[in-house]
């Protein structure tokens, strides 16, 4: 079913067009803003039957009514010249298609790629071939995160499911539990003080999400899992004992993203248009997250967040197609904006000196950071639907002089594409109205 490809397409340059017939001009900007409007998000309803892809704002958006998708297995490219020097530095390796649902989540670790879709399946890939699979009973897979031998998946039905790799058979995965556990729900339900208001005239247990989980993030050093939800909260879980140790009413609308950073700093982004900063404080056995500041307050929804490995840069993608960033070394002052997309940013990933943004306009922008300046290196095109999720791992061929990454992109066209990206790729150039060649750099923030 799958055709393996081990080399890159020749003579494609930095802008990789695997399908030259793709067009984004038929997508209306007003539709994008309306579907991700900060004041009219998915949070407005808690219907019990809204537990499948049909209830998500992405499935209801005009971006999902796109062009027909070419039903190919791993795409194969032929190097007719046989000249490796023609291989582009940033290019498409292959495309994985499986007609079972839109791709909503990705995670990668130790050469394994995990994909989650609205089919409820989690598939595992190795060396561009299917390696294993496991399935949840309900709820499309909105988020995947890996910690040691455990895989955590966040679902549309508001649950976090836990899976464990079988030691004797690395290709076998077994369901290890659900967060919160049935026992914890039963125990909490007995005490009236454990019920909190989740909507007007409606209460629920504070340890349970009452709407779709949008994002997961892990603080590996402290064994803490963070889950963000459309129910306006983020919750903190102790991975060792599966206990919910805190629930934070974080925003006035759906929480679309949560990311953890160094020294117990947590960032949340919401459909209410804000990005908030939280500080974890420990008092004995108790953990509490204290609100620190609001980095951004805008009319359009915040749709994605990312933090680089050192925690020095925070990136925020919004429904207006713009990426803002802040520099922690400068007291989280606004560093500028990255403008490379026509429609909403749906996902972000930071790796080394690169940041990648996936969008409803079906493209992925690759930016390289040098101090506070971000330069657009490549625009990766080829998806026939919105790019919903990204995952990045270091390329084994990477060297000190040429840092390379393997980038996975999941889309609502039911495919995952695999890209090779180099930090040494030459920057993109374009001609301005005067015919002068200019680079696509980040726009610095206005200093008061």
CA–CA distances in Å: residue 250 to residues 219, 283, 443: 18, 21, 30
Longest Cα pair distance anywhere in the chain, in angstroms? 73
Ordered alpha helix ranges (H), 158-267: 182-189
Q: What angle do CA 361, 380, 18 make, to 5 degrees?
A: 100
Confidence at residue 25, expressed as pLDDT on a 0 to 100 scale: 34
Mean pLDDT of 214-221: 96
Task: Report the half-sphere exposure of 226 (CA within 13 A, side-chain side).
Answer: 28
Q: What is the pLDDT of residues 377-411, one digit of tens each?
A: 999 999 999 999 999 999 988 777 788 999 999 99
CA distance linking residue 358 with residue 356, whole number of Å: 7
- Partnered with residue 249 across adjacent β-strands are 233
Query: Is pTM beyond 0.85 here?
Result: no
In the chain, where are the structural domains located?
302-323+339-428
Cα torsion through 106, 107, 111, 117, rounded to 10:
-40
Over 80: is that where the pLDDT of 51 sits? no
CATH superfamily of 302-323+339-428: YVTN repeat-like/Quinoprotein amine dehydrogenase (2.130.10.10)
Are 410 and 362 spatial neighbours (Cβ–Cβ below 8 Å)? no
CA distance linking residue 230 with residue 213, whole number of Å: 6
Q: What angle do CA 354, 420, 173 make, to 5 degrees?
A: 95
Give the lowest-confidence range in 221-225, 275-279, 353-357, 431-435.
431-435
- Partnered with residue 91 across adjacent β-strands are 420
Are 416 and 115 spatial neighbours (Cβ–Cβ below 8 Å)? yes
CA distance linking residue 17 with residue 378, whole number of Å: 11
Higher pLDDT, 446 or 101: 101
Confidence at residue 364, expressed as pLDDT on a 0 to 100 scale: 98
CA distance linking residue 357 with residue 374, whole number of Å: 13
CA–CA distances in Å: residue 41 to residues 254, 273, 339, 349, 413: 7, 11, 24, 23, 23
When the pLDDT of each residue in the chain is averaged and rounded to a whole number, the result is 80
Mean pLDDT of 165-187: 90
Q: What is the pLDDT of residues 95-144, one digit of tens each?
A: 888 878 899 999 999 889 999 998 989 999 998 889 999 988 888 999 99
Mean pLDDT of 236-264: 96
């Amino acid at each position: 079913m799958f055709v393996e490809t081990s080399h890159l397409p020749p003579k494609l340059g930095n802008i990789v067009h695997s399908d030259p017939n793709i067009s984004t001009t038929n997508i209306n900007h007003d539709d994008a803003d309306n579907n991700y409007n900060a004041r009219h998000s998915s949070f407005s309803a808690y219907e019990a039957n809204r537990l499948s892809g049909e209830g998500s704002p992405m499935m209801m958006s005009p971006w999902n009514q796109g062009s027909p998708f070419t039903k190919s297995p791993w795409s194969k490219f032929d190097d007719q010249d046989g000249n490796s020097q023609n291989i582009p530095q940033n290019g498409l390796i292959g495309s994985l298609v499986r007609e079972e649902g839109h791709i909503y989540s990705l995670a990668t670790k130790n050469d394994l790629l995990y994909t989650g879709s609205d089919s409820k399946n989690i598939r595992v890939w190795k060396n561009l071939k299917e390696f294993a699979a496991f399935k949840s009973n309900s709820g499309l897979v909105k988020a995947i995160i890996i910690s040691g031998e455990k895989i955590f998946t966040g679902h549309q039905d508001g649950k976090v499911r836990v899976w464990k790799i079988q030691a004797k058979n690395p290709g076998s995965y077994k369901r290890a539990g659900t967060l919160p556990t049935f026992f914890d729900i039963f125990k909490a339900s007995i005490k009236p003080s454990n019920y909190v208001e989740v909507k007007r005239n409606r209460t629920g247990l504070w340890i349970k999400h009452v709407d779709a989980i949008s994002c997961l993030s892990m603080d590996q050093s402290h064994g803490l899992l963070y889950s963000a939800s459309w129910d306006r909260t983020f919750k903190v879980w102790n991975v060792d004992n599966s206990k919910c140790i805190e629930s934070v009413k974080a925003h006035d609308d759906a929480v679309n993203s949560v990311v953890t950073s160094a020294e117990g700093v947590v960032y949340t982004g919401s459909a209410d248009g804000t990005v908030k900063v939280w500080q974890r404080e420990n008092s004995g056995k108790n953990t509490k997250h204290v609100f620190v500041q609001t980095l951004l307050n805008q009319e359009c929804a915040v749709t994605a967040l990312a933090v680089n490995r050192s925690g020095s840069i925070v990136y925020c993608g919004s429904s207006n197609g713009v990426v803002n960033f802040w520099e922690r070394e400068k007291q989280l002052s606004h560093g500028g904006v990255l403008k490379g997309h026509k429609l909403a940013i749906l996902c972000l990933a930071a790796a080394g000196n690169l940041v990648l943004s996936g969008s409803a306009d079906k493209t992925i922008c690759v930016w390289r950071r040098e101090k506070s300046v971000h330069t657009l290196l490549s625009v990766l095109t080829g998806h026939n639907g919105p790019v919903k999720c990204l995952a990045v791992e270091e390329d084994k061929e990477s060297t000190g002089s040429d840092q390379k990454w393997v980038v996975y992109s999941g889309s609502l066209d039911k495919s995952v594409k695999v890209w090779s990206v180099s930090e040494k790729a030459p920057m993109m150039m374009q001609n301005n109205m005067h015919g002068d060649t200019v680079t696509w750099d980040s726009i610095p923030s206005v200093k008061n």
